[in-house]
Amino acid sequence: MGINRRTVIGIGIGIAGAVEIREIKAEPQQPIPAQSGADAALQSARNQLRGEAQRIASVKLPATTEPAVHFHA
């Protein structure tokens, strides 16, 4: 992987990424008392994945006729 996703967002995609990060942080969260740094980092990483999933979910998929999920170039 070339560079971290936040960097891709922050530098490569720029403004859109800053918005994306704000959206993630704006999600309602349970208050977590006295989190350690590692716990906070893990929560942040989970939130990031959740935010990415939400953005992907906003893309409309056609009614499925796909024979399989696979990949080739």
Partner 1 sequence: MAADFSDVFFSSITEINAKLRAKEFSCVELTRAFCDRLQKIGPRYNALALSLEKDAVKQAHDVDDELHRDRTRGPLQGIPFGAKDLLAVKGRPTTWGAKPFANQVFDEDAVVIDRLKGTGAILVGKLAMVELAGGGDYNIAGASMTGPGLNPWDTSRWSGGSSSGSGAAVAAGLVTFALGSETSGSIITPAAYCGVTGLRPTYGLVSRRGAMALSWTLDKIGPICRSAEDCAHVLHVIAGSDHEDPGSAGRSFSYNPQFVRKPAETTIGYAPVDFNEWADPAIRPALQEALGVVKSLGFQMKEVALPDFPYGALVGLIIAGEAGSIFEDFIRSGQVDQLADPTQIAGLKAMLDLPSVDYLRAMRVRSLVQEGLRDLFIDCDMLLVPARMELAPSASEPLDGPPRSGPAPSSRGMSGIIPAGNLAGLPAISLPCGFANGLPIGISLVGRPFYENQLVTAGAAFQKQTDWHKRRPPITA
Q: Per CB under 8 A, does 35 bind partner 1?
A: no
Q: CA dihedral defined by 15, 21, 22, 26, rounded to 10 degrees?
A: 160
Distance of CA 6 to the CA centre of its chain: 9
Q: Per CB under 8 A, does 63 bind partner 1?
A: no
Between the alpha carbon of residue 26 and those of residues 21, 29, 42, 48, 72, the distances in Å are 9, 9, 17, 12, 37
Closer to partner 1 by CB, 26 or 73: give it.
73
In the bound complex, what is the minimum distance in angstroms from residue 46's beta carbon to partner 1? 5
Binding residues vs partner 1 (CB under 8 A): 1-15, 17-18, 20, 37-38, 41-42, 44-46, 48-49, 51-53, 55-59, 61, 64, 66, 69, 71-73
